[in-house]
Chains A and B, each alone.
Chain A
């Protein structure tokens, strides 16, 4: 099986090895064509973003204005803070030059002269590795002004690393731009979209690290070749990150559209202790979880997962066995989104806190059936009512986990709770729970 993003070639992080395996040939080929041709090929290849939304990459690039007196920018999103995903670090570590090559081809296609690679702050090791690769690329004339003589073209671009500082929200594209600009990582209202007004008000394209790394092979081997791999509507390979109760957790590069059960049982070695699966989150904690008894026949691509009632997200698959306490899991997820909500929009800022508190109340043994409905109602009121997708990401796991595992959650709650009110005066100050 062919691997596109992480080929099975040892020491590919050494530029000599990369060059002897066709490194920067795609860039040479790209520079002999017009930027529009490149965009056209990426469009036809059907490449879709690997950061969560699975938007068509070529289409995104085509939104960049052709004529503008402002500089254009490329942002490469390596924030990778979605719980369950740990794929981009493999690229930084094992195939950094293909990412750099993808970046320069993309810059050429969209007409950007500066690209920022945003890497999460905790990835100290991978930032160092990536910086080393970028320094090498500069020294060898694959980045910076030297590109002009290396490739014999009238174009060059710079690539800089911007180090994040521990904010999940900065993986959201407009928040990422604010973070690069030196502001708090608050998402921006869209429209205007980044292609019109992005970094410093200039046209900007934001792509995921894995998306950009897919570009050189598409240019070199042709879009027809790429479009035939995996699922027709979501072609190529994905870096599936499997974690949780499996025997062999890790990142597996496989075509899109493979069976979820195949991924879990054949590649990730099955469940520890041969237990049954209770729950699978197929694309990082933001995506709706699936019941273990409903994953038969589910395929791992954007369309199939949508039909199955979830989404591909970052392809970070979290597997939970039959003994998992789903209340604990959901409480931990709710805590995460409460912690990471940036605080701009009221529904998300307050709602994530409420959901965590209600779940905590249930965990303390003081929950009623009504609380489960209340949770769904809170989640519904967050969803779609916020500037960015963090609101949805916080609402989905709560809403779908409770809806799909209602039987499970009913075990944790009572029909009703009698609240002893010692004071004759009904003061909310002394009651832990709202009076019905």
Chain B
């Protein structure tokens, strides 16, 4: 399956390109834009990024595989990230992790069969004072209790 950037996204990459003296430096913004358009990064996507920026494909691959926020497999419509690092753990993050895991029936980096939810155990998200927390896609949900998590999951399931 071939992948082509939309016109608008090509313009966005061009804008990002202007911030840096080299094309290579625009690779991270370009991967973000590609991930937004395609959902995850495939070989074809990496090839297209390399073509657009005029860099080699291996440069794109090396960056994609280094950073945890670039996905090489599809994630759910709602990608749930649970922080279980120390500050969150002290305030019950593993209870929330278990709850979500059991409720959705999926484990770390798995997707529900309907493709609606995926789950990831993440490292510190910088919300230590508002622990425990989860992030769903780009939004933080802080100061959670099990009840609040149930509520969030139920409201998302209904959609």
Q: Which of A139-176 contact B (CB under 8 A)?
A: 160, 162-168
A86 contacts which chain B residues (CB < 8 A)? 126-130
Q: Is B62 an interface residue (CB 8 A)?
A: yes
Give the most central of B59, B129, B135, B139: most A CB within 10 Å. Answer: B129
Q: Which of B77-108 contact A (CB under 8 A)?
A: 81, 84-87, 89-91
Q: Is B32 an interface residue (CB 8 A)?
A: yes
Give the size category of B's interface with A. 35 or more
Q: Is B29 an interface residue (CB 8 A)?
A: yes
Q: Is A200 an interface residue (CB 8 A)?
A: yes
B21 contacts which chain A residues (CB < 8 A)? 71, 200
Partner of A183, one of B62, B123, B138, B139: B62
Partner of B129, one of A179, A183, A245, A249: A249
Please, how many angstroms separate the alpha-carbon atoms of A85 and B70 in the complex?
A: 24
Nearest CB to that of B124 among chain A residues? Answer: A83
Please, how many angstroms separate the alpha-carbon atoms of A120 and B138 in the complex?
A: 12
Closest chain-B Cβ to A283's Cβ sits at a distance in Å of 13
Closest chain-A Cβ to B83's Cβ sits at a distance in Å of 9
Please, how many angstroms separate the alpha-carbon atoms of A59 and B30 in the complex?
A: 37
B70 contacts which chain A residues (CB < 8 A)? 165
A160 contacts which chain B residues (CB < 8 A)? 19
Instruction: Check if B128 sits within 8 Å of A243, measured CB to CB.
Output: yes
Closest chain-A Cβ to B138's Cβ sits at a distance in Å of 4
B31 contacts which chain A residues (CB < 8 A)? 165
Q: Is B27 an interface residue (CB 8 A)?
A: yes
Partner of B124, one of A81, A242, A342: A81
Q: Is B26 an interface residue (CB 8 A)?
A: yes
Q: Is A339 an interface residue (CB 8 A)?
A: yes
Instruction: Check if A249 sits within 8 Å of B86, measured CB to CB.
Output: no
Partner of B126, one of A85, A242, A244, A249: A85
What is the 8 Å Cβ interface bit string for chain A, positions 228-258, against chain B (1 contact, 0 not)?
A: 0000000000000111110001110000000
What is the 8 Å Cβ interface bit string for chain A, positions 65-99, against chain B (1 contact, 0 not)?
A: 00000010000000011111110110000000000
Instruction: Check if A329 sits within 8 Å of B86, measured CB to CB.
Output: yes
Instruction: Check if A124 sits within 8 Å of B138, measured CB to CB.
Output: yes
Instruction: Check if B25 sits within 8 Å of A165, measured CB to CB.
Output: no
Instruction: Check if A244 sits within 8 Å of B123, measured CB to CB.
Output: no
Please, how many angstroms separate the alpha-carbon atoms of A180 and B125 in the complex?
A: 20
Please, how many angstroms separate the alpha-carbon atoms of A45 and B27 in the complex?
A: 40
Partner of B130, one of A125, A183, A249, A336: A249
Q: Is B1 an interface residue (CB 8 A)?
A: no
Q: Is A388 an interface residue (CB 8 A)?
A: no
Please, how many angstroms separate the alpha-carbon atoms of A344 and B148 in the complex?
A: 41
What is the 8 Å Cβ interface bit string for chain A, positions 184-226, against chain B (1 contact, 0 not)?
A: 1100000000000000100000000000000000000000000
Closest chain-A Cβ to B17's Cβ sits at a distance in Å of 11
6 nearest A-B pairs in the assembled complex, by CB-CB distance: A165-B67, A243-B128, A166-B69, A124-B138, A166-B68, A83-B124
Spell out A's residues near B (CB within 8 Å). Answer: 71, 80-86, 88-89, 120-125, 160, 162-168, 179-185, 200, 241-245, 249-251, 281, 285, 316, 318, 320, 324, 328-329, 332-333, 336, 339-340, 342
Given contacts A180-B20, A250-B129, list 18 more A-B pairs with CB under 8 A.
A81-B124, A83-B86, A84-B128, A85-B126, A121-B69, A162-B19, A166-B122, A182-B26, A182-B28, A183-B24, A243-B129, A244-B91, A245-B91, A316-B128, A318-B87, A329-B86, A333-B86, A336-B85
